[in-house]
Chain A
Amino acid sequence: MQQPAINKLLEEPLKIINIGLERFARELDRQGVEVVHVDWAPPAGGDPKLADLLAKLGS
């Protein structure tokens, strides 16, 4: 029976992209793990009312 792909994940060097909270990336970096951080936050800081208005106004 073939091994699920997920099981192989930790058997080889990881390629990590961290999105959002930078602290996770910093921790990995501190442990010598290569990581690319993507600076992202939800629109309007996650405020649903403002996000809804922005969607309607277009930006």
Chain B
Amino acid sequence: MQRIEDANREALQRMLCGDPVLVDALPAGEAIPELKQGMILHAGPPIGWDRMCGPIRGAVAGIAVFEGWAPDLRAAADMAADGAFEFHPNHHFDAVGPMTGLTTVSQPVMAVENRAFGNRAYCTINEGLGKVMRFGGNDDEVLGRLRWLRDEFGPALGAALRSAGGVELKSLVARGLTMGDEMHQRNVACSGLTLRALAPALAATAGGNAALSKALAFIGGNDQFFLNIAMAMGKAIMDPVRGIDGSSVVTAMSRNGTDFGIRISGTGDCWFTAPVEMPQGLYFPGFTEADANPDMGDSTIVETIGLGGFAMGAAPAVAGFVGAGAASEAGNFTRSMSEITLGENPEWTIPALDYMGVPTGIDIRLVVETGLAPTINTGIAHKQPGVGQVGAGVVRAPLACFEKALLAFAESVGVS
């Protein structure tokens, strides 16, 4: 239908002309005025406490203690079960969060502004590897790190970004793709490039040599520091694509450990959900699939803009890390995703694939027709709260989401 082709052309154009810039870090309550005490934003489509998976429950208990809403983890869990907290998806408040993805009022969030459209999107600061809240961790070590991020690192990062005039992300990601990153499970290059861009300004804002040393060590010691920036960037790029009448382009993919949800431009902000799947991957020593929590997090926003599993060809090292086969097969993942997308991004190219642009603009019609579900690179959390990451792997978005979306989309354009 010409109407759909025109709408999708507009959607792809909006994606490609996005101009994301990391501009600030500030308390979530300032960035998102609607975010009040007692409100908890989470990854994925809407869900209540009764259906939440273990890691999100663990993170909820931890964040309630961190925010001073509960005296301890047990009391926090009881309060959550009694309905003391209000739960909403990050996506409903211009935000995204990795894995459990919790965002609350006093946590610092990084702001990415899409200068082509003037909108902003937010994501918390990546906590590092090991025992962290995004994997359900909630002990003193986890909460202590969150306090440092809130009281010291976040304010210093915000001041550095403001004094530096921001960090332009489109060109930074383009360089990262040529250096082996796919921006979901490998962010080594982009984290380093970000550190290089921010270090001079941080030196002036960190508050002394000891604080600067700690801040630089924190960024430099975390290969996934850039993940949360990439996610806010993805959200900032995709939000202007929402609500184009007649467009069958996916504007968000997200999961909460129980449900996988997608949103389509032409059907507004409806969620189309199906049960999440279990990632297939490799486990850290001492863990097996029996320990794993099903798929979780808003991080699939990076696949929505053509990175992550869609850019696997740029990051052969990731293919081994996530158990996706030989390095030589990495390009096949990217090529197959071009079968379900509208075009390529000419500014984000992959040298190893003869400078093919990353596949961009997932069309639900192509997904349903081919039966090729989007490929997602992901971390794997332990299913029990408080344990943390146990592996990394590849997971497919459930086809049922796309089939449900197609039925609703057809109705929205008067086809039955």
* Residues 119-163 of B at the A interface (beta carbon under 8 Å): none
Report B249 CB to chain A, min CB distance, Å.
Answer: 12
In the complex the two chains form, what is the Cα distance from A50 to B369 in whole Å?
8
* Residues 2-57 of A at the B interface (beta carbon under 8 Å): 41, 43-45, 47, 50, 53-54, 56-57
A44 touches B369 (CB 8 A): yes
Is the CB of B116 closer than 8 A to any CB of chain A? no
In the complex the two chains form, what is the Cα distance from A57 to B405 in whole Å?
13
Some 19 contacts from A to B, beta carbons below 8 A apart, are A41-B371, A43-B369, A44-B368, A44-B403, A45-B399, A50-B406, A53-B407, A53-B415, A54-B365, A54-B369, A54-B406, A56-B410, A57-B248, A57-B410, A58-B4, A59-B363, A59-B365, A59-B366, A59-B369
Is the CB of B413 closer than 8 A to any CB of chain A? yes
Partner of B371, one of A45, A56, A57, A58: A45
> A57 contacts which chain B residues (CB < 8 A)?
1, 4, 248, 365, 406, 409-410, 413, 415
> A50 contacts which chain B residues (CB < 8 A)?
368, 403, 406
> B368 contacts which chain A residues (CB < 8 A)?
44, 50, 54
* Chain B residues in the interface with A (C-beta under 8 A): 1, 4-5, 248, 363, 365-366, 368-371, 399, 403, 406-407, 409-410, 413, 415-416
Partner of A56, one of B248, B403, B415: B415
Report B415 CB to chain A, min CB distance, Å.
Answer: 5
* Chain A residues in the interface with B (C-beta under 8 A): 41, 43-45, 47, 50, 53-54, 56-59
Report A43 CB to chain B, min CB distance, Å.
Answer: 5
Do A58 and B5 form a contact, CB below 8 Å, given A50-B403, A53-B407? yes
Give chain A's interface secondary structure class. Answer: helix
**Closest B residue to A42 using CB positions:** B371
> B369 contacts which chain A residues (CB < 8 A)?
43-44, 54, 59
Report A1 CB to chain B, min CB distance, Å.
Answer: 48
Report B329 CB to chain A, min CB distance, Å.
Answer: 15
> A54 contacts which chain B residues (CB < 8 A)?
365, 368-369, 406
**Closest A residue to B366 using CB positions:** A59
A-B contacts besides A56-B415, A57-B415, 19 pairs, CB < 8 Å: A41-B371, A43-B369, A44-B368, A44-B371, A47-B403, A50-B403, A53-B406, A53-B407, A53-B415, A54-B365, A54-B369, A56-B1, A56-B410, A57-B365, A57-B409, A57-B413, A58-B4, A58-B5, A59-B365
> A45 contacts which chain B residues (CB < 8 A)?
371, 399
In the complex the two chains form, what is the Cα distance from A45 to B403 in whole Å?
11
> B365 contacts which chain A residues (CB < 8 A)?
54, 57-59
Report B272 CB to chain A, min CB distance, Å.
Answer: 14
Report A58 CB to chain B, min CB distance, Å.
Answer: 5
By CB atoms of chain A within 10 A, which of B5, B363, B370 has the most?
B370
In the complex the two chains form, what is the Cα distance from A50 to B1 in whole Å?
16
> B416 contacts which chain A residues (CB < 8 A)?
53
